Chain A
Amino acid sequence: MSASNLDPSRLTIAAAAERLRRRELSAGEILEACLARIAATEPRLRAFLTVSGELARSQAREADERLRRGEPRSVLDGIPIALKDVFVTRGVRTTAASRILENFVPPYDATTVARLRERGAVLIGKTNCDEFAMGSSTENSAFGPTRNPWSLDRVPGGSSGGSAVAVAAGQCLGALGTDTGGSIRLPAAYCGVVGLKPTYGRVSRQGIVAYASSLDQVGPFGADVRDAAILLEALAGHDPLDSTSAPLPVPRYQDALRPEADGLRVGVPREYFQEGMQPEVESGVREAIAVLESLGAAVEMVSLPHTPYAVAAYYLVATAEASSNLARYDGIRYGRRAAAKTLLETYRRSREQGFGAEVKRRIMLGTYALSAGYYDAYYVKAQKVRTLIRRDFDRAFEQCDVLVAPTAPTTAFRLGEKTADPLTMYLSDVLTISVNLAGLPGMSIPCGVDGGGLPIGLQLIGKPFGEESLLRAAYAYEQATDWHELRPDPALCAAQGPAGGPGDGGARR
């Protein structure tokens, strides 16, 4: 089977919606094509923790009924969407890729899930991720890693690896993830899809299994920039149930999509091109900057001097919040409870057995950072660094509308390559973390492939609530290039037998 234009699972959301509207295709057909892709590829990719085929089929039937009457609820009506397994879904198991929530079936929907349902989207399943979204490779899932469809011995990035893979491999037409330190942008870059992390407060966090509350943000994965814009428009907006969501009107993001970059001021942060980055990544990103310039953008270098402190500050703030957010998993009211004689033993064993190593590590780091006598030196200091990083960006944005940089210093690394050394793993996020600390919107779009055929990600960073500028720059670039049309070889993902070695993830246009 090859990536034919006729395979509905390879359509963009925009194209599929158009065909649904013209009734050239049914929601049922799109869903079945995606389910077929899942059946063929899941044994190797393992992007999903739960495939909710039955729910999806009934939603697709309802969508087709509405489409038949000519009354679609939105452009997403009948479109199969996958959700990272940290989105709470009424009646559908929600694990956060953790043993401690292995059999947790929530009685309510996340606000973002409810928004998708209201718009007629078909919820095809829950995707794999690092446990509680803590990780950069999806290897920290309690249920085994997800593999990169471009090369099965590579990680898909994390923590929203399953969602990125599901879009890249045509298992769904769009997906949602969360991004706390790069968890949407990094897997988008490694998997060659578009990933958008909105401004903190742009999208409701209600119903997202919390990792680090002041950093977590929901965002979409799409096959191209328009799909990301369509999904963002559906997700964004104030939610009375999330007091940190912004009471600002939601622009029509698709209106920002114009094929030129005239007058757009693009900044290139000096500190994001470091020693030791993969040369192909640097050249790919520099070429992309040249493309933007050719489209009318004014490019200049800017400086974000506090960048070197971002990773340290992040691992204090994020772990501090996580240590508190994850304290509720005690085995008492829901989730896994270990048999024990006393209360203390119940707590200890339930958490000992329920949490994986990385989650425990972060709980301990965060508990330490908040402890009496250390709080000022760690947590308070980290918050000060956060302010300095925000000011760096404020200053840079006095001169420009968007910043562009690599999403990651390298393309996707090998499974197991960094698991032995948490610090090396933490450094995968060195170029994405500042954006979360500053609460800014960020995006990763494909801008090339390396010698091994692995995708390279171009990161765009915007002002607070400047998603339109991001989308405009990304769309102009995308229109001028065709990297987004590259798809991993479906035969590779579906092939039987052992996972392929390096470099066998050939791309096809």
Chain B
Amino acid sequence: MALIILRNIRKVYKTGNLEVAALINLTLNIEQGEFVAIIGQSGSGKTTLLDILGCLSHPTSGEYWLDGDNVHLLPDSQLTTIRNKKIGFIFQTFHLLPRKTALENVQLPMMYARASRAIQHDRASELLTMVGLKDRLYHYNNQLSGGQQQRVAIARALANRPALLLADEPTGNLDSQSGNDILTVFEQLHQQGQTIIIITHDPLIAQRAERCITLLDGKIMSDEMAHPSSATKG
């Protein structure tokens, strides 16, 4: 069974009397270990898809299965647990908490998972070491560069060993060098078997993934495997 199964997903937003369909009968499977880019222009529905994939909101209709869980039937409280245990979020604006060290930021998902303090500390420092921030454990956000902050965010996303890493324009606020470094980290994670979905409007970034899904007006326009040759171009 695929890690992610979307069946006839519809999402309709109501603004007053006006109904806007952001996603129209979207059907999609993503296997365990895939590195997928979802690409589309603004208004194509990619943010809505991110919210649904990330269990941040329910689809208006349709079915969503994540790692065997019947997400579309689960109440809010259980979605929280799924987000905590199975999904790692990476955002364009990093979303690190102010007045917290890199270590504390990475510990946060584990704190909500009620892990012991010792485990939180060990796992967080291990992850930060992995993303190359071994000597930045006790630095605050304002003492870190954008690229470093995004690495902290990646470490935080990985804290509870999620089934899915969900990145929303992860390089959008970074210069090309740092952005490239972040994508390299994603590629390494992919090689270790991590399922990754990157949502972006940038075709160049999408090329780094092994599969590229293009959205247009709430529907999948194309779904193709990237050429291995272009994957290394950057």
Q: Do A and B bind each other?
A: no
Q: Which residues of A contact B (CB under 8 A)?
A: none
Q: Which residues of B contact A (CB under 8 A)?
A: none
